[in-house]
Amino acid sequence: MTIKESQEAVDQWIKTFGVRYFSELTNMTILMEEVGELARIMSRKYGDQSFKGNENEKQLSDEMADILWVLICLANQTGVDLTEAFKKNIEKKTLRDKDRHKDNEKLH
């Protein structure tokens, strides 16, 4: 599924099952909440923290998909074409950083 197809699929789902998009502010807050859930798993799975006894190890993929879902909602609500935005972002990073990381001794 392309990014464009993902944006269209989310929009269709919202129109079919979701009644309407939550407000942009609500979705921004939900996005932060979902990022926090991913951070919690990452800190326990790859960091120094451990899962609590009553805590199930959630799927990283599901939490990442939740983040993508809400980000797509925000893009749809604000008229952002994520395909074009991502292409431009890669171009920006390439121009700005084409030698930066190769020249970083910390990465070798």
Helices (H), 1-108: 3-17, 24-45, 60-78, 82-97
In a domain, 108, yes or no: no
Residue-wise pLDDT for 1-17, tens only, equals: 999 999 999 999 999 99
Q: Please calculate the CA angle 102-3-86 and round it to the nearest 5 degrees.
A: 35
In a domain, 78, yes or no: yes
Residue-wise pLDDT for 48-101, tens only, equals: 999 887 766 678 999 999 999 999 999 999 999 999 999 999 999 999 998 899
In a domain, 77, yes or no: yes
pLDDT for the residue 72: 98
- The mean pLDDT value for 28-55 works out to 92
In a domain, 104, yes or no: no
For residue 54, the domain's CATH number is 1.10.287.1080
In a domain, 98, yes or no: no
The number of folded domains in the chain is: 1
Q: How many Cβ atoms from other residues are within 10 Å of residue 76's Cβ?
A: 19
Find the domain containing 56 and state its range.
Answer: 3-82
Residue 106 has pLDDT above 80, yes or no: yes
Cα separation, 77 vs 17, in Å, equals: 16
